[in-house]
Amino acid sequence: MERSLQKDWCIIKSNQLSDAFCVAVRGHKGWGGLFKAKYSLAVSFEAINQDIQKYFALPLYLLCGTLFLYESWHNRDDSLAKPNGWQRLLLVLYLLYPLISFLLGNRFPQMVTHIMPCPVVSLGITVYAGYSRKNKLLLALLTIWGLTGIKSVIFSAYEDIILLICGIYGVTLFLRETKHGMKR
């Protein structure tokens, strides 16, 4: 049985897209006996220029870092409490980030390492949870970043499920802090 895979791509600027989108398939056998289809067609769309990194991720990362520095100076008498069970679990997950990335088939430089933004934010949420005084803006920004871990499922970056778990934990922290703030 003859099998073939042809992959082709082109870049079209968004302002040059036509009103209609047409695809032509020419006598290409499908996936052999794997499926019952005689022919197959797969179309994907990718963002080539990922400006979101410049306009969302970088400013958010820098703002979180600046707020961390401010908080470390402003609340220098606050000390880090012993981690609870959830925080220990999140710390272990943070430590496992590169191993999980490796087990998912990623190799350097595609492999996620501890110093990349998503693992650092995961660690930030976990460590920041150990302090008694929390800046709600910093906690909200870390939590928003953590919740972007939903992309792990959408873009098959499954190691970032750790980030999503930390984001969900951040939501619980934020709600607890907001509730305690109302009581004060």
pLDDT tens profile 66-76: 999 999 899 98
pLDDT at 180: 81
pLDDT at 154: 85
> What phi, psi does 52 have (nearest 5°)?
-60, -30
**How far is it, in rounded angstroms, from Cα 129 to Cα 153?**
26
pLDDT at 28: 46
pLDDT at 131: 92
Annotated domain spans of the chain: 52-183
pTM tops 0.75? no
**How far is it, in rounded angstroms, from Cα 169 to Cα 165?**
6
Instruction: Extract the residue ranges of the chain whose pLDDT is less than 70.
Output: 1-53, 183-184
Distances from the Cα of 104 to the Cαs of 15, 116, 118, 137, in angstroms? 37, 17, 17, 34
pLDDT at 152: 87
**How far is it, in rounded angstroms, from Cα 168 to Cα 93?**
14
**Residue 79: left if φ>0, alpha if ψ -120 to 50, beta else—which one?**
beta
Contact predicate 107/113, CB 8 Å: no
pLDDT at 181: 74
H helices present in 19-57, as ranges: 52
- The amino acid at residue 159 is E
**Three-class SS of residue 60?**
helix
pLDDT tens profile 77-95: 999 999 999 999 999 999 9
